[in-house]
Structure 1
Amino acid sequence: MNKRAWIGVAGFAVGITVLGTILFGPGVGSVTGQSTTKMAGVIEGTEVDLSFKMGGSIDQISLTEGAEVKAGQLVATLNSEELLAKKEQAEAAYHLAQVKLEQAKKGVSLTDSSSSAQVDQAQAVVNAAKAGLDANKNGARAEEIAQLKAKLQAAETSNQIAQTNLERMQKLLVEGAVPLVKVEEAKMQSDKAQAELKAANEQLKMAQSGSRREQIDASQAQLDQAKAAYDQAVAARGQVGLKQLDVKSAEAGVQQAKGALAEIDAYLNNTKLTAPVDGIVKSVSVQKGELVAQGFTVVTIQTKADNYVKFYVNEYTLAAIKTGDAVKLYVPALKRDVDAKVVTIAPAADFAVKKATQELGDRDIRSFQVKLLVSDTELRPGLTVEWKIEGAGSGE
């Protein structure tokens, strides 16, 4: 064979070698029937984009690109002056609602005790008025005189109670615990008790001196008045139920104000952005004072853990791999092997690493993505690694 022929054969061999490298070189896999397949890949890392749940202006950005960050570390904050002002308003509304609740509870207690005392007093006055009327009708006897004396004593007690209640209401009015209408009601009861005391005193005097027709009529009028007062006292006791409704309304107001305060606290918490994982700051997209929208990526963190590499393995080489396999990867930059683990194998093929030709019986050979997890702390995303797969099958 002459020199020109040898040159042609050598050129043909080089062309075949280059074509084989393109089709079956690193990162794709070999289909030449060899028992070992070498592949090349690139280390990738998990990135976490951090953003605020709400919009606002950046008040502080505490990290720079390349800085290490720990989980829970403060990354950035938003301006919160408006929210702080709203929190003061919410706190004031909450305290006011609590005060109203206490006033409503005191109102129930005062109304209950006051109405019960008024009913008892009114019943005593009715009994005394009946006794006085009977005494005037039948003439005053010794026991009737005694009854009128008892009536006078009861009237004195009622008058004293009414006066004490009036003084208490006036004091509570000054403290803001009761409305003015309560003081006016107590004043009316005091005036009424004084009139009844005066009437009881006059009845006793009349009984001691003898009864006349006008005295009998006066006693009847007093009895009617006493019965009316009793009915009024019983009706006033029904106001306790209305006061209890005021308490429930005030309790609802407290819960509403508490919820509004909790909402403001939640918004304030959203003005603080913290790192969810350990890692290295890959990029910072904002500056102090810059206005950002909700969900805008402020900082991107490259995690230190969970580095991985993806290979595309042809369907024949795939038979030598299974999920969970511990393998060795060679890192040219570090000039050493690192441990890795097969974590996922794609359930379906991604693309064909070899397309069928016109040859009889030829067919496509497809690739599957295989993901390996690497945990070596010296590895960084972007480093090249090589994987030697032993026992690979043949595609021919």
Structure 2
Amino acid sequence: MPANKVVAGVAAIVVIGALGWGLLKAFEPQVQPLQGQIEAREYNISSKVPGRVEQVMVRKGDSVVADDLLFSIDSPELRAKLQQAQGGRDAAKAMLAEADKGARQQEINASKEQWLKAKAGAELANTTYQRVQNLFDEGVVARQKRDEAYTQWQAAQYTEQAAYSMYEMAQEGAREETKAAAAGNALMAEGALKEVSSILSDSQMRSPIAGEITDVLLQPGELVPQGFPVVSLVDMQDAWAIFQIREDKLSEFTKGTSFKLYIPALKREADFVVNHISVMGDFATWRSTETGNDFDMRTFSVEMRPTAAVADLRVGMSVLLTP
């Protein structure tokens, strides 16, 4: 057989083989990577204090650490309430001190002098009554005079007893019940002051964590209602990848399983571990789940966290998982 015919035959076989291989690969099912995206913990920082934004210390893109001052709110009404609470606290403390200390020495001396005065009056009334009684016995004065003297003596004795009781009360000071009530009022006033002070301190908002400022919603001079977010920040140290997995593929994902994910924006791979699988599924809206078997399958959210910090990772970056 001529050599050229052999070469032509071999070439034909090679071409036919190549065409067959090409057709085989063309009709072979292609493995499609699963696409997810990066999410991270976001914080919306708001204040319990309504008022006007006084200062904003950060801008979008700034990095902050925990306890950095983010913004402050000016509230004249709250400052007025603080003054009222301070005045109430001081008044309650003064009343408690007065109850604990008791009457002043001048008041005790005055009560003693009133008692001595009443005592002297009672002694005089008694002497007068005895004289009138003697005269009555001799028939010199009428019974009416004797009865009047007796009544005046009895009244003087009661006045002396009342004055002595006031003197003793001044010496003893306030009753225990009065002291307890004064102590309770002082405690209530202190609690009211702490409550107002706590709310006022919330007008100076500090960062709860280290992160990056993603948005500043209000500027100095603008009114802010209670609970309205002024600054938003994200913690990229608390980031994860989220995938929407069809239920027929869910068995491939179990908690603790490691995967290598490709991050196109960073042009690199990173190790991630499944840490959460949603307990409730949703009908797919991200991509069609029709299987041709007359029913739609649900999708489940699967979260994966990086095993180590990934530099330059950003929220919204795509991640690819090749099954």
Is the TM value for this pair above 0.5? yes
- For structure 1, the 5+ residue unaligned runs are 1-16, 21-30, 111-167, 173-177, 203-212, 390-396
- Aligned with 2:197: secondary structure? helix
State the partner residue of 2:71: 76
Q: CA deviation at 1:264?
A: 1.6
Q: Which residue identity lines up with residue 207 of structure 2 in the other structure?
A: A
Pair 1:381-2:286 in alignment = no
State the partner residue of 1:279: 211
CA distance in 2 between counterparts of 1:300 and 1:198 reads 88
State the partner residue of 2:263: 331
Classify 1:196/1:351 alpha carbon distance in 2 versus 1 (closer, same or farther; 3 Å). Answer: closer
CA distance in 1 between counterparts of 2:195 and 2:263 reads 52
Whether the 8 Å CA contact 1:304–1:377 is kept in 2: the answer is no
Deviations 1:125-155 (A, max 9, x none): xxxxxxxxxxxxxxxxxxxxxxxxxxxxxxx
CA distance in 2 between counterparts of 1:324 and 1:369 reads 15
CA distance in 2 between counterparts of 1:284 and 1:368 reads 34
State the partner residue of 1:355: 290
Query: How many residues are aligned here?
Result: 279
Q: CA deviation at 1:318?
A: 2.4
Q: CA deviation at 1:313?
A: 2.6
CA distance in 2 between counterparts of 1:247 and 1:286 reads 51
Whether the 8 Å CA contact 1:65–1:281 is kept in 2: the answer is yes
State the partner residue of 2:196: 264
- Aligned with 1:64: secondary structure? coil
Pick from 307, 322, 327 the counterpart of residue 254 of structure 2.
322
Classify 1:197/1:331 alpha carbon distance in 2 versus 1 (closer, same or farther; 3 Å). Answer: same
Whether the 8 Å CA contact 1:278–1:304 is kept in 2: the answer is no
Pick from 176, 191, 204 the counterpart of residue 117 of structure 2.
191
CA distance in 1 between counterparts of 2:66 and 2:249 reads 40
- For structure 2, the 5+ residue unaligned runs are 1-25, 128-133, 139-148
CA distance in 1 between counterparts of 2:113 and 2:174 reads 21
> Which structure features the higher share of helix residues?
1
CA distance in 1 between counterparts of 2:200 and 2:91 reads 22
Aligned-pair identity in percent equals: 28
Whether the 8 Å CA contact 2:89–2:190 is kept in 1: the answer is yes
State the partner residue of 2:39: 44
CA distance in 2 between counterparts of 1:75 and 1:259 reads 28
State the partner residue of 1:150: none
State the partner residue of 2:16: none
Q: CA deviation at 1:238?
A: 8.5
Q: CA deviation at 1:42?
A: 2.3
Deviations 1:36-88 (A, max 9, x none): 65222222222211111121001111000000011222111111444334323
Q: Which residue identity lines up with residue 105 of structure 1 in the other structure?
A: D
> Which structure features the higher share of strand residues?
2
Classify 1:348/1:248 alpha carbon distance in 2 versus 1 (closer, same or farther; 3 Å). Answer: closer
Q: CA deviation at 1:192?
A: 4.4
Matches within 5 A, 1:47-126: 47-107=42-102
TM-score by length of 1: 0.58
Q: CA deviation at 1:97?
A: 1.9
Q: Which residue identity lines up with residue 75 of structure 1 in the other structure?
A: L
CA distance in 2 between counterparts of 1:369 and 1:39 reads 13
Q: Which residue identity lines up with residue 303 of structure 1 in the other structure?
A: D
Whether the 8 Å CA contact 1:356–1:364 is kept in 2: the answer is yes
Q: Whose radius of gyration is greater, 1 or 2?
A: 1
Q: Which residue identity lines up with residue 194 of structure 2 in the other structure?
A: A
Two-structure CA RMSD over aligned residues (Å): 4.1
Whether the 8 Å CA contact 1:339–1:376 is kept in 2: the answer is no
- Aligned with 1:355: secondary structure? coil
CA distance in 1 between counterparts of 2:237 and 2:161 reads 83
Classify 1:188/1:238 alpha carbon distance in 2 versus 1 (closer, same or farther; 3 Å). Answer: closer
CA distance in 2 between counterparts of 1:60 and 1:191 reads 70
CA distance in 1 between counterparts of 2:188 and 2:122 reads 49
